Amino acid sequence: MKVVITGGTGFLGLRLARKILERRTLTGASGQQEPVEQLILFDAVTPAERPAGLDDRVTITSGDVADEKTIMGMVNGASLSVFHLASVVSAGAEQDFDLALEVNLDGGLNLLEACRAAPGLPRFVFTSSLAVFGGAAMPAEVGDDTKITPQNTYGMTKVINELLVNDYTRKGFLDGRGARLPTTVIRPGKPNKAASSFASGVFREPLSGNTCNLPVRRDTKMAIGGYRGVVDGMIALHEADNAAIGDDRTVNFPSIATDVEGMIAALKRVASDRKLGEIIDAPDPVIQSICEAWPSATRFDRATALGIKGAPDLDIMVRAYIEDYLDA
């Protein structure tokens, strides 16, 4: 079978690719486990050097997800699965509305149409976000059945894609599944334009001996998940029984509720033997307002029923990052 990962050379895309290569098989169009013979990592910008841990089944290609011809030429095959991670992220979408529509909406529709044109019944896993929730009526804890009223452009584009996945699945064009992700930590490398980027930076920068400029108050509440669990969860969602998912194809992924102060406390507990960089309060009203519009806690009963494991505690997330990216 052929697997395509958009955003494939990003943090989660590469971790997902390596996990799929390690598994060697996924459920294919036959409904049975099939060997992954081709894995395409598609991204807007690709690294100059080939990332480690990728074998000869992997092709890395760059391009524009909003270019219909490019997508139709890549997303095809008799047994096909697509993991759609590519997106203009939260703060970036607020800054450039037109780009968010082009990449997040046109790009998503291009992928869905390519899957529709492919023979068989492709599996399509879409990464949504808790940013789909918001508004004055949003409860402190959101569930899969909480009304969706996003208060940012990024969340709006995710909602539209969720609905498209529902309808393309209902029409029998593909077998779509959506992963509504919490803020995922700890991301290595440089900060990106996600409003939640600080949630990784508050761990990553001090662990590297660098100063972290914290743009939100320390009492800011968040729902977060660890990257290992998120990647395992995406594969579990891909493998889940179609009928068990039902007509609402997107599920809340497991998360834990915390505040920034709790995150800092976990960092200091786990890394008590390391010299940490300083954390400086540097309020950014725009980032604060975006984060306050998101839910601070989630229920994820449907994900649990599908075999997607719960999020670990903060200490485990910090240890995982140290093991994977600092001590490796």
| pLDDT of res. 259 | 97
- 60 is a domain residue: yes
Q: Is the backbone of residue 52 left (phi > 0), alpha (psi -120 to 50) or beta?
A: beta
Q: Which residues are catalytic, by number?
A: 154
| pLDDT of res. 194 | 82
User: For the chain, which residues score pLDDT lower than 70?
Assistant: none
- 103 is a domain residue: yes
242, exposed or middle or buried, with CB in 10 Å at 0-12, 13-18, 19+? middle
Q: d(Cα 96, Cα 153) in Å, to the nearest integer?
A: 9
Q: Which residues pair with 5 in a beta bridge?
A: 41, 83
What do you get for the CA distance between the two ends of the chain, in Å? 32
- Taking Cα atoms as reference points, which of 84, 172, 185 lies closest to residue 125? 84
95: containing domain: 2-183+225-254+298-312
- 233 is a domain residue: yes
- 159 is a domain residue: yes
| pLDDT of res. 144 | 96
- 6 is a domain residue: yes
- 98 is a domain residue: yes
Neighbouring CB atoms inside 10 A of 171's CB total 9
The domain that holds 179 is classified in CATH as 3.40.50.720
| pLDDT of res. 220 | 96
| pLDDT of res. 193 | 76
As for how many domains the chain has, the answer is 1
- 264 is a domain residue: no
Q: What is the pLDDT of residues 214-254, one digit of tens each?
A: 999 999 999 999 999 999 999 999 999 999 999 999 999 99
Q: What is the pLDDT of residues 75-126, one digit of tens each?
A: 999 999 999 999 998 888 989 999 999 999 999 999 999 999 999 999 999 9
Neighbouring CB atoms inside 10 A of 98's CB total 7
- 61 is a domain residue: yes
Q: Beta strands of the chain (E only): which ranges? A: 2-6, 25-27, 33-35, 38-43, 58-62, 80-84, 123-129, 141-142, 175-181, 183-185, 212-214, 221-226, 250-252, 256-259, 279-281, 297-298
